[in-house]
Chain A
Amino acid sequence: MAESVRVYYQEELEQLEASALGGLDMVSTALDRTLEAIEQTDIELAQIVVADDDRIDGRYLEVHQSLITLLATQSPVATDLRLISALLHVLKNIERMGDQCVNVCKLIPLTGNEPPADEEMVKRILTMGRQTRTLIAQAKRAFSERDVELARDLVRQDDVVDNLNRECFHLALAIGDDADKREWAMTMLLAARAIERIGDNAVDIGEQVAFVVTGLFREFEDASHPAQ
C-alpha cells in the first residue's frame, strides 16, 4: 500500500486550494487600495477598486467551476471532500469581501471633497481596515497550515474590529446637528460596517479550517447565542 497514486488529481486539488487562497491576496490588495482611497478621498483609486473586482469574481468562477468538475470526475471523499466543501465556502467569502471593498469605494464619492468632518472617525476606520487586513492574512495562514488554534484566534482579532466599529457609531452620534456633517458621518458608518463585515468573513474562513481538520462545522461565535 505504499505506492502513491492519483498524483495528478492531488496536484490539481493542491493548485485549486492555492488558487482559491490566492483570492485572499487579491482582497488584501483591494482593501489596501480602499483604505488609501478613504484616506486620500481618492475617487479614481476607488474606481479602480470597483473595476478590479471583476478579477476577484473571475477567480471565484474559475476555481468554483474547477472544483465542481473535480467533484464530478474524481469522486473525492474524506479529507479531500471536506477540503473541497470548505473551499467552495471560502470562495464565497472571498467574493463577498471583494464586494464589500466595492461597497466602500462606491461611498467615497458621496463623502464630498471637503476635509473629513471628523478626523477621529477616519482614523478609526483606517485602523479597522488595517486590523481586517491582518485578519485576512491570518485566515489564509490558518487555512494553509490547517491550524485550528490560529483560526480560532481570528475571533479575538475580530473583536478589535467590532469595537472600533462601535466607536465609529458613537462618534457619528456625537457629530452634531449640521446636516452635511451628519450625512458624511452616516456614509462613513456604512463604510465602517462594510469593513467590519470583511472581518466577519475572515472569521467564517477560520470556521472552515476547523471543519477541514475535525470534520465538524461549528460557528466560533453564534450571533443568536452570544453567550456560548
Chain B
Amino acid sequence: MAHDDRARTGRDTREEAAARAGIAVRPEEFRHQRDSGRRERVFELKGVDVLYSGVTAVKGVSMDIHHKDVTALIGPSGCGKSTLLRCFNRMNDLIPGAEVRGEILYHGEDLYGPAVDPVQARKLIGMVFQKPNPFPKSIYDNVAFGPRILGRKDGLDETVEKALRGAALWDEVKDRLKDNAFGLSGGQQQRLCIARCIAVQPDTILMDEPCSALDPISTGKIEDLMIELKERFSIVIVTHNMQQAARVSDRTAFLMVELDADEQNRWGRLVEYDETEKIFTNPGDKRTEDYVSGKVG
C-alpha cells in the first residue's frame, strides 16, 4: 500500500498558520525535526490493517519506528494501541482469528514473510507487559531462563548480572538472587521482567503499559530506566499516561477510534505521528490537541 495514507505530521498546518501570519519559519524552531528521515528505521509499517475474525480492529497504519528512539503509542481505550504493539513481534499470531494485512518491515525485511520464524523474531523484539509476570522461580532463574533456552550457558552469571544491572535492579537483589521472584515488590518485579527481556539481547523492547500497576516511585524508576535503555535498544511503549509519554518518548503516535457511517463498526486509526515535543506543544491535528489536552474523553 502506498504511503499516501500516512498520518499527517502536522508540520504543514504549523507552517500554514505561520505563513498566514506572515511569519517565516526558522530552522531552529524545527529542532525536533533535525534528523527525522535520516534516522535508521527499525520498523516500517505500510498500510497495516489488523483484523480479529474478519473484523477490523486497526486500519491503514503507516509509520516508521526509528532506531534507539522511545516511541509512544497513545490514544483512548479501544483505539488499537496494544493491538498495533503486538504486531511488532507477531504476538497477534497467538490469537486465533487474528490477521495482519499490509506490510511491516523489520530492518528492511518483511516481518511477516514466510521465511521468518516468529519465535526467532521475538528473541530480537522483546516484550514487557502491563502486569509484572515473573516466573515462579528464583530471581536468578528468571533472568537466566531465556539464555538457557537459547543454549547460552557460558558466562551465565555474568549475563544475569549484566541484565540486572541494565534493568537497574542489581544493587537491590544481588544478595538474594536465589530468593523467589514473587518476594519482590511490584516495581522490582517489573524491572526483573525488563532484565529477563534484555538478557536475551534483543534490539527492540515493546512495553504495554509497563507502569500502570506501579506506584509513582516505581514508575519513576522504570521511566529513568527507559531513558538508559534507549542507549542500547529501540523501545515502543503503549501508555495511557500522557505525561509519561511526554516525559520518556522521542516520538509519539496518537491513535483514535473511528466509526463507520452507521456507527456499527469501529476501528483504530493513526491520527498523528510526530516528535513528542511537537505533539505536546503544537500538534497539527485538532483531534490530537483535544486528546492530549484532556478536553475529550
Q: List A residues at the B interface (Cβ < 8 Å).
A: 1-6, 9-10, 75-82, 148-149, 152, 210, 213-216, 218
Contacts and interface: CB of A to CB of B under 8 A. Distances in A.
A218 B23 contact: yes
Given A6-B295, A79-B293, A214-B21, 13 more contacts: A3-B296, A9-B294, A76-B293, A77-B242, A77-B246, A78-B293, A214-B20, A214-B23, A215-B282, A216-B14, A216-B21, A216-B23, A216-B25
A219 B290 CA distance: 29
A81 B17 contact: no
B21 A148 contact: yes
Interface in B10-46: 14, 17-18, 20-25, 29
A4 B23 CA distance: 33
Contacts of A81: 280-281
Interface of B: 14, 17-18, 20-25, 29, 76, 242-243, 246, 256-257, 280-283, 287-297
B29 A216 contact: yes
Contacts of A10: 295
B281 A5 contact: no
B26 to A, nearest CB: 8
10 contacts: A1-B256, A3-B297, A4-B296, A5-B296, A9-B294, A76-B293, A80-B293, A82-B281, A82-B282, A215-B281
Nearest to B256: A1
Contacts of B22: 152
Q: Identify which of B14, B76, B246, B282 gathers the most chain A CB atoms within 10 Å of its CB.
A: B282
B287 A1 contact: yes
Nearest to B22: A152
Contacts of B20: 148, 214
A76 B295 CA distance: 11
A152 B294 CA distance: 31
B280 A1 contact: no
Minimum-distance CB pairs A-B, first 4: A215-B282, A148-B21, A214-B17, A5-B297
Contact of A5 (B23, B280, B283, B295): B295
A52 to B, nearest CB: 36
A78 B281 contact: yes
A216 B296 CA distance: 26
Nearest to A77: B280
A82 B280 CA distance: 10
Contact of B281 (A2, A77, A210): A77
Contact of B17 (A1, A3, A213): A213
